[in-house]
Amino acid sequence: MWIRGKKNRLLVGRFKILLLALLVVSLTACTAKVSYRFLDWIIAWSVDDYVEWNSQQQQQFDQVVSDKLAWHQGTQLKRYSEFLAQIKQEMQQPLSRELLEERMEEAEQLWTDTAEEIAPEAVTLLMTLSDEQVDDFSVNLVKNNRKMEKKYGSESPEKLDRKRIKEVEKTIARFIGRLNSDQKELIVSWSSRLENTRGPWIESRKGWTSAFTQALKERQSTMFPGRVYTLLVHPQSLWSDQYRSMVDNNIGHAGGLIIALQASLTNKQQQRLNKNLDEWIDVFDDLSSSAEITVDEALQS
């Protein structure tokens, strides 16, 4: 197995990065750039689904979002650009499992750095919730879990497999162009080897919700900051051994698929991949540069 014996922190990090990669390539560089500039609104709308702030909390929340987005744009996007530039250079040669694992660890650190930056302020804000807000928060979390269970829990494994294959083919084609029959077969073969994590995933969501709700009810406890920080930054700490093992196996298969697909690229597909990576590098550079300009203007005023 590719990553058997590695720390659980690295395991969940790679799991997150794989999900994030699918999200990234589902957007064009242009739409992603526009979306980033409206990220404060997107975050606010998402949080509004769970809790209704009072006026003081809303001001505090808005300030935290503004500060953290400024931090992210000013400090993290340049790291993303440099990371992708490195990936592009290394993709010109056959990938090894060791190199892919190393890059996934670096990507996981980018994810963790952001979570660790945001969590303390989130904890502080959550400590101000009223009993009524905690109740509403808990109810909305449970409702969302039921919605996800209804959406994914009723589909047959065969249907899920077909959907997964279709979505992955579409996602990869967005980056490298039309797939040939051999590449499609690689995806079908990969999908057939995956373990069905649907049940354990749903149970892990329920377990996290229960732990988070209980922590909120005890938010005046001296243990609250540490408990919620762990739940926000390291939710995998609640995973069952079964779920952890299944994710381990699936990530190993995903790594094998990435290496096999990279080795199968035609010259035309490689050129398109390079072009797409260049576009994303430019997006991150442009957004990072605009943040630097804003900071310079603020210092001069």
> 201-220 pLDDT, tens per residue?
999 999 999 999 999 999 99
User: For the purposes of burial, counting CB atoms within 10 Å of the CB of 298, is it exposed (0-12), middle (13-18) or buried (19 or more)?
Assistant: exposed
Given a cut of 80, is residue 221 above it in pLDDT?
yes
Q: What CA–CA distances, in Å, run from 155 to 40, 148, 160, 166, 231?
A: 34, 12, 6, 15, 29
Range in 6-15, 182-191, 225-234, 276-285 the model is least confident about: 6-15
Given a cut of 90, is residue 90 above it in pLDDT?
yes
Q: Please give the average per-residue pLDDT across 7-14, as a whole number.
A: 44
Q: Please give the average per-residue pLDDT across 177-192, as a whole number.
A: 97
How far is it, in rounded angstroms, from Cα 207 to Cα 243?
12
Task: Say which residue, 52 or 28, is predicted with more confidence.
Answer: 52
How far is it, in rounded angstroms, from Cα 103 to Cα 83?
9
Instruction: Report percent pLDDT > 70 for the chain.
Output: 82
Given a cut of 80, is residue 62 above it in pLDDT?
yes
Reading the block at residue 205, the tokens are 């969501």
Given a cut of 80, is residue 297 above it in pLDDT?
no
Given a cut of 60, is residue 146 above it in pLDDT?
yes
CB 116 within 8 A of CB 229: no
Instruction: Report percent pLDDT > 90 for the chain.
Output: 63
First CA to last CA across the chain, in angstroms?
57
- pLDDT for 33: 61
CB 62 within 8 A of CB 85: no
Residue 258: CA count within 13 A, CB half-sphere: 21
How far is it, in rounded angstroms, from Cα 143 to Cα 147?
6
- pLDDT for 91: 92
Task: Say which residue, 155 or 55, is predicted with more confidence.
Answer: 55
- pLDDT for 19: 41
